[in-house]
Amino acid sequence: MAPAGANDIPDHRGRTGLALTGRDLTGNPGVRVTEVEVLAAAWHVLRKTTFEFQHADGHWSTEQRETYDRGNGATILLYDLERGTVLLSRQFRFPAYVNGHATGLLIETAAGLLDDEDAETAIRREASEELGVTLGEIAHVFDAYMSPGSVTERLHFFAAPYSASSRTSVGGGLAEEGEDIEVVELPVTLALDMIDDGRIADAKTILLLQWSVLRGPFRGAL
Protein backbone atom coordinates (compact mmCIF):
# COMPACT_ATOMS: atom_id res chain seq x y z
CA MET A 1 0.00 0.00 0.00
CA ALA A 2 1.05 3.61 -0.44
CA PRO A 3 2.56 5.42 2.55
CA ALA A 4 0.03 7.37 4.63
CA GLY A 5 -0.67 10.69 2.99
CA ALA A 6 1.11 9.77 -0.26
CA ASN A 7 -1.87 11.01 -2.26
CA ASP A 8 -1.68 14.42 -0.64
CA ILE A 9 2.08 15.11 -0.54
CA PRO A 10 3.01 16.92 -3.79
CA ASP A 11 6.12 16.32 -5.82
CA HIS A 12 8.36 19.29 -6.68
CA ARG A 13 6.03 20.24 -9.56
CA GLY A 14 3.01 20.36 -7.23
CA ARG A 15 1.35 17.15 -8.44
CA THR A 16 -0.73 15.30 -5.84
CA GLY A 17 -2.47 11.94 -5.89
CA LEU A 18 0.91 10.32 -6.53
CA ALA A 19 -0.24 6.83 -5.47
CA LEU A 20 -3.22 6.88 -7.85
CA THR A 21 -1.24 6.87 -11.11
CA GLY A 22 -1.93 3.72 -13.11
CA ARG A 23 -4.94 2.55 -11.12
CA ASP A 24 -7.44 3.69 -13.78
CA LEU A 25 -5.69 2.21 -16.83
CA THR A 26 -8.08 0.27 -19.11
CA GLY A 27 -6.41 0.27 -22.53
CA ASN A 28 -4.91 -3.21 -22.18
CA PRO A 29 -7.38 -5.85 -20.89
CA GLY A 30 -4.43 -8.12 -20.16
CA VAL A 31 -3.14 -5.80 -17.42
CA ARG A 32 -4.92 -5.20 -14.10
CA VAL A 33 -3.23 -2.80 -11.67
CA THR A 34 -3.84 -3.86 -8.07
CA GLU A 35 -1.48 -1.72 -5.96
CA VAL A 36 0.65 1.42 -6.32
CA GLU A 37 3.26 2.36 -3.72
CA VAL A 38 5.16 5.65 -3.75
CA LEU A 39 8.77 4.87 -2.81
CA ALA A 40 10.21 8.39 -3.19
CA ALA A 41 9.00 11.82 -4.23
CA ALA A 42 11.73 14.20 -3.08
CA TRP A 43 12.43 15.37 -6.65
CA HIS A 44 10.78 13.09 -9.19
CA VAL A 45 8.48 10.18 -8.31
CA LEU A 46 9.54 6.57 -7.86
CA ARG A 47 6.64 4.10 -7.69
CA LYS A 48 6.36 0.34 -7.21
CA THR A 49 3.30 -1.00 -9.00
CA THR A 50 1.80 -4.47 -8.58
CA PHE A 51 -0.33 -5.74 -11.45
CA GLU A 52 -1.81 -8.92 -12.85
CA PHE A 53 -0.57 -9.76 -16.34
CA GLN A 54 -2.11 -12.15 -18.87
CA HIS A 55 0.51 -14.01 -20.89
CA ALA A 56 0.21 -15.11 -24.52
CA ASP A 57 -0.87 -18.63 -23.48
CA GLY A 58 -3.72 -17.17 -21.43
CA HIS A 59 -2.43 -17.69 -17.88
CA TRP A 60 -2.21 -14.81 -15.41
CA SER A 61 0.73 -13.90 -13.20
CA THR A 62 1.34 -11.22 -10.57
CA GLU A 63 4.14 -8.83 -11.52
CA GLN A 64 5.83 -5.83 -9.92
CA ARG A 65 7.65 -2.96 -11.63
CA GLU A 66 9.36 0.16 -10.35
CA THR A 67 8.82 3.24 -12.51
CA TYR A 68 10.58 6.58 -12.33
CA ASP A 69 8.30 9.48 -13.27
CA ARG A 70 10.19 12.66 -14.12
CA GLY A 71 7.52 14.04 -16.43
CA ASN A 72 7.74 14.30 -20.21
CA GLY A 73 10.31 16.33 -22.10
CA ALA A 74 11.34 17.85 -25.41
CA THR A 75 14.57 18.17 -27.36
CA ILE A 76 15.59 19.98 -30.54
CA LEU A 77 18.33 19.84 -33.16
CA LEU A 78 19.31 23.28 -34.45
CA TYR A 79 20.93 23.23 -37.88
CA ASP A 80 22.40 25.67 -40.39
CA LEU A 81 21.96 24.00 -43.76
CA GLU A 82 23.99 26.57 -45.68
CA ARG A 83 27.03 26.23 -43.42
CA GLY A 84 26.51 22.52 -42.68
CA THR A 85 26.59 23.00 -38.91
CA VAL A 86 24.58 22.03 -35.84
CA LEU A 87 24.29 23.87 -32.53
CA LEU A 88 24.64 21.68 -29.43
CA SER A 89 25.46 22.04 -25.74
CA ARG A 90 28.04 20.56 -23.39
CA GLN A 91 27.12 20.10 -19.74
CA PHE A 92 27.94 17.94 -16.72
CA ARG A 93 25.72 14.90 -16.16
CA PHE A 94 26.40 13.16 -12.86
CA PRO A 95 24.54 9.91 -13.71
CA ALA A 96 26.80 9.45 -16.76
CA TYR A 97 29.88 10.36 -14.70
CA VAL A 98 29.09 7.82 -11.99
CA ASN A 99 28.48 5.15 -14.64
CA GLY A 100 31.79 5.28 -16.47
CA HIS A 101 31.88 8.48 -18.52
CA ALA A 102 35.37 9.91 -18.05
CA THR A 103 34.33 13.50 -17.25
CA GLY A 104 30.52 13.48 -17.17
CA LEU A 105 30.54 16.32 -19.72
CA LEU A 106 28.10 15.29 -22.45
CA ILE A 107 27.49 16.95 -25.80
CA GLU A 108 23.74 17.14 -26.35
CA THR A 109 20.87 18.71 -28.22
CA ALA A 110 19.01 21.33 -26.19
CA ALA A 111 16.37 19.67 -24.02
CA GLY A 112 14.22 20.04 -20.94
CA LEU A 113 11.12 18.89 -19.10
CA LEU A 114 7.71 20.20 -20.13
CA ASP A 115 6.40 20.86 -16.62
CA ASP A 116 3.07 22.63 -17.30
CA GLU A 117 3.91 23.78 -20.85
CA ASP A 118 3.14 22.19 -24.19
CA ALA A 119 6.13 20.63 -25.96
CA GLU A 120 6.71 23.41 -28.51
CA THR A 121 6.55 26.17 -25.91
CA ALA A 122 8.93 24.28 -23.64
CA ILE A 123 11.54 23.62 -26.31
CA ARG A 124 11.48 27.23 -27.51
CA ARG A 125 12.26 28.25 -23.93
CA GLU A 126 15.05 25.68 -23.61
CA ALA A 127 16.66 26.71 -26.91
CA SER A 128 16.73 30.30 -25.72
CA GLU A 129 18.05 29.53 -22.24
CA GLU A 130 20.63 26.91 -23.21
CA LEU A 131 21.79 27.98 -26.67
CA GLY A 132 20.77 31.65 -26.85
CA VAL A 133 18.65 31.11 -29.98
CA THR A 134 15.27 32.69 -30.65
CA LEU A 135 13.45 30.17 -32.82
CA GLY A 136 11.22 30.88 -35.78
CA GLU A 137 9.47 27.99 -37.47
CA ILE A 138 10.16 24.58 -35.94
CA ALA A 139 9.27 21.05 -37.07
CA HIS A 140 8.08 18.17 -34.93
CA VAL A 141 10.07 15.07 -35.91
CA PHE A 142 8.84 12.19 -33.73
CA ASP A 143 8.19 11.13 -30.12
CA ALA A 144 9.99 8.31 -28.31
CA TYR A 145 10.17 6.54 -24.97
CA MET A 146 13.86 6.69 -24.07
CA SER A 147 14.06 3.99 -21.37
CA PRO A 148 10.68 2.23 -21.29
CA GLY A 149 11.80 -0.52 -18.95
CA SER A 150 11.86 1.83 -15.97
CA VAL A 151 11.38 5.52 -16.91
CA THR A 152 7.94 6.82 -17.90
CA GLU A 153 9.23 9.86 -19.83
CA ARG A 154 8.05 10.41 -23.42
CA LEU A 155 10.39 12.75 -25.28
CA HIS A 156 9.16 15.04 -28.08
CA PHE A 157 11.79 15.56 -30.79
CA PHE A 158 11.99 18.76 -32.86
CA ALA A 159 14.30 20.36 -35.41
CA ALA A 160 14.71 23.96 -36.54
CA PRO A 161 17.09 26.12 -38.56
CA TYR A 162 19.26 28.72 -36.90
CA SER A 163 21.48 31.51 -38.18
CA ALA A 164 23.69 34.28 -36.84
CA SER A 165 20.67 36.57 -36.60
CA SER A 166 18.68 34.09 -34.50
CA ARG A 167 21.45 33.81 -31.90
CA THR A 168 20.12 36.59 -29.70
CA SER A 169 21.95 35.82 -26.44
CA VAL A 170 24.95 33.88 -25.18
CA GLY A 171 22.87 31.01 -23.76
CA GLY A 172 24.49 28.94 -21.03
CA GLY A 173 21.39 27.97 -19.05
CA LEU A 174 19.99 29.40 -15.84
CA ALA A 175 22.53 29.99 -13.07
CA GLU A 176 19.79 29.91 -10.43
CA GLU A 177 19.04 26.32 -11.46
CA GLY A 178 22.70 25.34 -11.24
CA GLU A 179 23.14 25.14 -15.00
CA ASP A 180 26.60 25.73 -16.48
CA ILE A 181 26.16 25.02 -20.19
CA GLU A 182 28.69 25.55 -22.97
CA VAL A 183 27.32 26.24 -26.46
CA VAL A 184 29.03 24.01 -29.05
CA GLU A 185 28.79 24.59 -32.82
CA LEU A 186 30.01 21.70 -34.97
CA PRO A 187 30.03 20.71 -38.64
CA VAL A 188 27.42 17.97 -38.90
CA THR A 189 30.02 15.69 -40.51
CA LEU A 190 32.22 16.05 -37.43
CA ALA A 191 29.27 15.45 -35.13
CA LEU A 192 28.58 12.16 -36.92
CA ASP A 193 32.24 11.15 -36.55
CA MET A 194 31.97 11.95 -32.85
CA ILE A 195 29.14 9.43 -32.56
CA ASP A 196 31.41 6.79 -34.07
CA ASP A 197 34.30 7.43 -31.68
CA GLY A 198 32.17 7.97 -28.57
CA ARG A 199 32.65 11.70 -28.07
CA ILE A 200 28.90 12.06 -28.54
CA ALA A 201 27.20 9.44 -26.38
CA ASP A 202 23.80 10.95 -25.62
CA ALA A 203 20.92 8.95 -27.10
CA LYS A 204 18.57 11.79 -28.04
CA THR A 205 21.41 13.63 -29.78
CA ILE A 206 22.46 10.54 -31.72
CA LEU A 207 18.87 9.97 -32.86
CA LEU A 208 18.44 13.54 -34.12
CA LEU A 209 21.83 13.70 -35.82
CA GLN A 210 21.23 10.43 -37.66
CA TRP A 211 17.69 11.54 -38.58
CA SER A 212 19.11 14.77 -39.99
CA VAL A 213 21.16 12.92 -42.61
CA LEU A 214 18.75 10.05 -43.27
CA ARG A 215 15.44 11.93 -43.53
CA GLY A 216 16.06 15.48 -42.38
CA PRO A 217 17.68 18.70 -43.59
CA PHE A 218 21.07 17.20 -44.49
CA ARG A 219 19.62 14.31 -46.50
CA GLY A 220 21.53 14.21 -49.80
CA ALA A 221 23.57 17.26 -48.84
CA LEU A 222 26.69 15.51 -47.52
Output the pLDDT for position 173: 57
Rounded average pLDDT over 81-97: 96
Domains in the chain: ranges and CATH: 1-69 (no CATH), 73-214 (3.90.79.10)
pLDDT digits (tens, 9 = 90+) for 7-54: 567 777 777 788 889 999 999 999 999 999 999 988 899 999 999 999
Q: Distance (Å, rounded) from C-alpha 211 to C-alpha 81?
A: 14
Output the pLDDT for position 168: 75
Better-scored residue on pLDDT, 76 or 21:
76
Output the pLDDT for position 116: 86
The DSSP annotation for the chain comes to -PPTTTTTS--TT----TTTTTTT--S-TTEEEEEEEEEE-SSSEEEEEEEEEE-TTS-EEEEEEEEEE---EEEEEEEETTTTEEEEEEEE-HHHHHTT-SS-EEEE-EEEE-TTS-HHHHHHHHIIIII-B---S-EEEEEEES-TTTB--EEEEEEEE--GGGB-S-----GGGT---EEEEEEHHHHHHHHHTTS---HHHHHHHHHHHHTSTTTTT-
What pTM, to 2 d.p., does this model score? Answer: 0.90
